[in-house]
C-alpha cells in the first residue's frame, strides 16, 4: 500500500525529521510551512534521495484564507492523503 502524507511545519525541526522518515519509507508527501524557499529545497532533496513525489505549498495556517487555500490544494491531490 502506498501512503500520501501531509506534513505541516515541514521546513524545520520535527516536521522536517518526520518528512525525511516518511520519505525513507517510500511515502509521497504534501508539505507546508511558511518558507517557500526552504520547502523547495527540502522537496527536491527528498525526491532525489528517496524517489518519492513531493508536493508543497507555503502557508501560514493561522491565516483563515491561506488555510482554506491549502485545504483546497490537498483535495486536488486525490484520495488517500493522511493529514
Residue 17 has pLDDT above 90, yes or no: yes
Provide CATH code, domain 4-82: 3.40.50.720
Name the band, by pLDDT with cuts 50, 70 and 90, for residue 63.
Answer: very high
Residue 9 has pLDDT above 80, yes or no: yes
Residue that is written with C-alpha cell 511545519 in the block: 9
Phi, psi of 80 (to 5 degrees): 90, 10
Mean pLDDT of the residues in the chain? 89
Residue 78 has pLDDT above 70, yes or no: no
- pTM for the structure as a whole: 0.85
Amino acid at each position: 500500500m502506498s501512503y500520501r502524507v501531509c506534513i505541516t511545519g515541514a521546513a524545520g525541526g520535527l516536521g522536517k525529521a518526520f518528512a525525511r522518515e516518511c520519505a525513507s519509507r517510500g511515502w509521497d508527501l504534501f508539505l507546508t510551512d511558511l518558507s517557500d524557499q526552504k520547502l523547495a529545497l527540502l522537496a527536491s532533496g527528498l525526491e532525489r534521495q528517496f524517489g518519492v513525489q513531493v508536493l508543497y505549498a507555503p502557508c501560514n495556517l493561522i491565516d483563515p484564507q491561506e488555510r482554506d487555500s491549502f485545504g483546497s490544494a490537498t483535495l486536488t491531490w486525490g484520495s488517500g492523503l493522511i493529514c
